[in-house]
Amino acid sequence: MMNNPERPKAISIKNLVKNYDEVEAVKNISLEIEEGEMFGLVGPDGAGKTTSIRVLCGLLHPNSGSAAIFGKDTVKERRVAQHFIGYLSQKFSLYGDLSVDENIAFFAKIHKVKDFKERRDYLLEMMRLANFRKRAAEKLSGGMKQKLALACSLIHKPKLLILDEPTTGVDPVSRRDFWKIISSLNKEGMTILLTTPYLDEAERCSRIGLMNDGKIIALGEPKEVINSTDMVVLEVFTPKIRESEKVIKNNTNFEPQAFGDRLNILTKDPEEAFKIVAETLKKHGLEIIEKRVKAPSLENIFIHIVTQTTGN
């Protein structure tokens, strides 16, 4: 009896490079995402996240390397690959003068879904939009627009949902509701790839890739990435936060990270670090009001890795 061939990955990216004229937006990245994962691609604006997504969706051709969706090359088999994808872009891209129902009907027609009404009603209930189905899309709130866009992207029952910064500009309540929907879809088995600049959102994902300057600089489960440096945070409170940050940066080997009225310093030896920092600040007429040691956040680690890799 022959063994079944290995199932293709939901997403497979190999040595992907994408340039815009002289600008290298994506720099030789490789990545595999398993079916059923919720994967977060995390990084600041300009990191290369959206360009990578557009290549995956077959909207851009790579300069070199390849990308495949469930084994289908996004260039050579673009139409087949796109059929697997539900895509939600950063910007609201629906028709404002059409109603909620009309927008969903339009996208059902694009995807050649004929008997879509039961699916539409299910999605509207899930998005809590059933009472607004006759309202024009342009009359919806920001959060409701995003949920309508999500419903449209799901009407053809895609195997892969790609979300490009889906909660940017959305109010906190809508953001929470949106995440409940995403989590429930993932629990039902849908593969989800999302990009986000929000590191608290990244921690909800099963795995993440930290991206900066066109490169993936860390990859793994959120806890793995956080624990990868084997460091803790020395948090110090000082009344002159900016001046203290500058003094520590210029006179020690530490990388102070300012958060409000406190400085976070990643270190493997918090007692020795506090001694050095306190003595350095004292020499410059500055004081520490309070200190504590805590586990690092993903934001601490991301800033640390970016600093290490760029030297900034």
First-to-last C-alpha distance (Å) of the chain = 58
Q: What is the pLDDT of residue 276?
A: 96
CATH (one of 3.90.1580.10, 3.20.20.70, 3.40.50.300, 3.30.230.10) for 11-226: 3.40.50.300
φ, ψ dihedrals at 298, nearest 5° = -65, -35
Cα–Cα distance measured from residue 310 to residue 228, given in angstroms and rounded to the nearest whole number: 18
| Contact yes or no for 185/161 (Cβ under 8 A) | yes
Q: What is the pLDDT of residue 260?
A: 87
The secondary structure of 77-98 as a DSSP string is THHHHHHTEEEE-SS--S-TTS
Segment 64-85 shows an average pLDDT of: 95
Q: How confident is the model at residue 312 (pLDDT cuts 50, 70, 90)?
A: low
Cα–Cα distance measured from residue 12 to residue 46, given in angstroms and rounded to the nearest whole number: 22
Domain segments of the chain: what residues?
11-226, 230-295
Q: How confident is the model at residue 5 (pLDDT cuts 50, 70, 90)?
A: low
- Whether residue 3 has pLDDT greater than 80: no
Task: Report the mean per-residue pLDDT for the chain.
Answer: 91
Distance of CA 273 to the CA centre of its chain: 33
Residue 306 DSSP code: H
Q: What CATH number belongs to 230-295?
A: 3.30.70.270
Across the beta sheet with 64-69, the strand order is 23-33, 11-20, 64-69, 72-73
Cα–Cα distance measured from residue 292 to residue 194, given in angstroms and rounded to the nearest whole number: 34
pLDDT tens digit string along 238-297?
999 999 999 999 999 999 999 988 999 999 999 999 999 999 999 999 999 999 999 999
The three-state (H, E, C) secondary structure of 2-71, written as one string? CCCCCCCCCEEEEEEEEEECCEEEEEEEEEEECCCCEEEEECCCCCCHHHHHHHHCCCCCCCEEEEEECC
The secondary structure of 250-282 as a DSSP string is HHSS---EEETTEEEEEES-HHHHHHHHHHHHH
From 54-58, 205-209, 289-293, 301-305, the region with the lowest mean pLDDT = 301-305
pLDDT tens digit string along 110-157?
889 988 999 999 999 999 999 999 999 999 988 888 899 999 999 999
Q: How confident is the model at residue 200 (pLDDT cuts 50, 70, 90)?
A: confident
Collapsed DSSP state (helix, strand, coil) of residue 205:
coil
Residues contacting residue 268 through CB under 8 Å, at least 6 positions apart: 230, 231, 232
| Identity at 21, one-letter amino acid code | D
Q: What is the pLDDT of residue 308?
A: 79
For the chain, what percent of residues have pLDDT higher than 70?
97
Q: What is the pLDDT of residue 178?
A: 87
| Identity at 10, one-letter amino acid code | A
Segment 294-306 shows an average pLDDT of: 91
Q: What is the pLDDT of residue 4?
A: 46
